[in-house]
Structure 1
Amino acid sequence: MIILKVLNNNVVLTQDKNRIPVIVMGSGIAFQKRAGDKVEKEKIERIFKQDKSTNASAIEEAIKEIPPLYFDIANQILNFAQEKLDQKLDNNLFLALMDHIYFAVQRYKKGMLIPNKLQEEIKLLYKKEFKIGMVARNFINKNLNIELPEDEAGFIALHLVNANASADIDETIQVTNLIKEIVDLISKHLEMKLNVESLSYYRLVTHLKFFCISVVEKDVRPDLGMRDLYLMVKKSYPVSFKCVNLISELLLVKYNYVVNDDEKAYLAIHIERIRNES
């Protein structure tokens, strides 16, 4: 590859054999280099080719705006995350992470901190990613001598979750938000604060995670025909079943999703466990 433009010490603009713009990243890859020089292959860490999800010109503009230090920070965090998650993460995550960290720091310096309303749900649903997010947040604070709040660990965790799943980050947030909405509805209906440390709560939220993915993706689950279970639960747990009906109404109005009888029975059982535990 021949360098067309040096963007900073760690990033150069070049092109592939089809003359399509390519962004190449690597620590010190452009040190003492200029246009016309060859890219040292052994220094290449990440390559971004323009496609439907990656616009090379947009990347170039972002790199011009974001100081090189954020490249190093995002790179080290991503390498750490790949090691802990034991898988290669999409290069687009690197760009999203670098961009997120930069603007999070800019907001911090302006005193514009954004609370993460899904923090508790993220901690519970995505424990491994949240731990990585905490390490990343501490690493950022140490290197930039700032004090980003713990909420940022949750935001970083969502980026990692997105890289590990087929859903995009908007869907991940939508699912997590829906879980919170349902949990809040249950808490209000039962007139009690749910114990987030309890086994019953963990089981409920784990169940809701997969259930809400189906709702958001409109992947209607087949009714397995467990009518006896449904009737037994409806009769035995009237308080919990009434709560399930409220959840069903919410999902029908907001997502046009019809909760089948099997799912109603399972939800009622989880809610009843929480009632009993309290």
Structure 2
Amino acid sequence: MVALADHLQMAVKRNELEPELTSNPNPLSAEVHHLYPEETRLATEILERTNNWLAEKGIPPLPPAEVVAISLHLVNAGFRTEDLAETYVMTGVFEQLFEVIDSSFGITLDRQSVNAARFITHMRYFFVRVHHDGQLNDGMSVLRNSLEISHPDSVACAERLSQILSLRLGAELSSDEQTYLALHVARLAEDRGTTAD
């Protein structure tokens, strides 16, 4: 909450001094709206209430672009970390993973689906596990063998995702993390989204 309050205070000051800069759209806008719909909803409400309070004080309102920054603060708060840099990295990685899944299956996944939300939640906790050197290691080889037979494309896609994650996070994924990744990919592929042209 302190980080969010500090952000809002600085945003008000920036908006008063350089309103032309604060009105520019945030480059992460599309990703944040797709990946964090609940945080975006709450951020929109926070911005609305903030702007109502500012109007009472005769202070110019904050622009709609602030929703993205507020959303990221809320995401960050969910991990009890004060470093927004990790949240920015995580958001970029999520979008990259979705793009790989899209291209692997020739679809455009619905980022608002239940399975997409489950995938994002799994990945958010994966980031926490990697940060604390505690990846899953439950002996899921039977599940992996089953997925290799029933969903070989999902396993292959999960291996590509694992390589990206290893490069981006500097940590090799455990076999179990790869298996859970393949399971989520299989669920996402079954949604099928919309077919890419």
Question: Normalised by the size of structure 2, how large is the TM-score?
Answer: 0.78
Matched residue type, 1:170? A
What is residue 185 of structure 1 aligned with on the other side?
100
What is residue 95 of structure 1 aligned with on the other side?
6
Question: How far apart are 1:96 and its partner, in Å?
Answer: 3.0
Q: 2:40 aligns with which of 124, 130, 135?
A: 130
Give the distance between the partners of 2:16 and 2:80, measured in 1 at CA.
Answer: 29
Q: How does 1:55-70 map to 2 (within 5 A)?
A: none
Larger RCO, structure (CA 8 Å, separation 6 or more): 2
What is residue 67 of structure 2 aligned with on the other side?
153
Q: 1:238 aligns with which of 137, 140, 152?
A: 152
Contact preservation (8 Å) 1:187, 1:193: yes
Give the distance between the partners of 1:118 and 1:230, measured in 2 at CA.
Answer: 36
What is residue 123 of structure 2 aligned with on the other side?
208
Matched residue type, 2:105? L
Q: How does 1:10-159 map to 2 (within 5 A)?
A: 89-90=1-2, 92-104=3-15, 106-110=17-21, 113-117=24-28, 119-121=30-32, 124-125=35-36, 127=38, 129-141=39-51, 143=55, 144=59, 148-149=63-64, 151-159=65-73
Q: 1:108 to 1:183 in 2, by over 3 A?
A: farther
Q: 1:263 to 1:179 in 2, by over 3 A?
A: same
Give the distance between the partners of 2:29 and 2:139, measured in 1 at CA.
Answer: 35
Contact preservation (8 Å) 1:118, 1:176: no
Q: Which SS does the other structure have where 1:196 is aligned? A: coil
Q: 1:102 to 1:136 in 2, by over 3 A?
A: farther
Structure with more of its chain in strand, by fraction? 1
What is residue 261 of structure 1 aligned with on the other side?
175
How many equivalent pairs are there?
186
Q: 1:196 aligns with which of 100, 108, 111?
A: 111
Matched residue type, 1:148? P
Q: 1:136 to 1:106 in 2, by over 3 A?
A: farther
Contact preservation (8 Å) 1:179, 1:212: no
Which string of whole-angstrom CA distances, capped at 9 and with x for unpartnered residues, describes residues 210-265 of structure 1? Answer: 113333x1524142112111111122211111111111111222322111221212
Matched residue type, 2:142? D
Matched residue type, 1:254? R
Contact preservation (8 Å) 1:230, 1:265: yes
Give the distance between the partners of 1:98 and 1:207, measured in 2 at CA.
Answer: 33
Which string of whole-angstrom CA distances, capped at 9 and with x for unpartnered residues, describes residues 30-83 of structure 1? Answer: xxxxxxxxxxxxxxxxxxxxxxxxxxxxxxxxxxxxxxxxxxxxxxxxxxxxxx
Contact preservation (8 Å) 2:94, 2:120: yes
RMSD value over aligned CA atoms?
2.7
Give the distance between the partners of 1:256 and 1:192, measured in 2 at CA.
Answer: 29
Give the distance between the partners of 2:173 and 2:22, measured in 1 at CA.
Answer: 43
Matched residue type, 1:243? C
Matched residue type, 1:175? M
Q: Which runs of 5+ in 1 are unaligned?
A: 1-88
**Structure possessing the higher radius of gyration over alpha carbons:** 1
Give the distance between the partners of 2:22 and 2:4, measured in 1 at CA.
Answer: 26
Contact preservation (8 Å) 2:42, 2:71: yes
Q: Which SS does the other structure have where 1:113 is aligned? A: coil
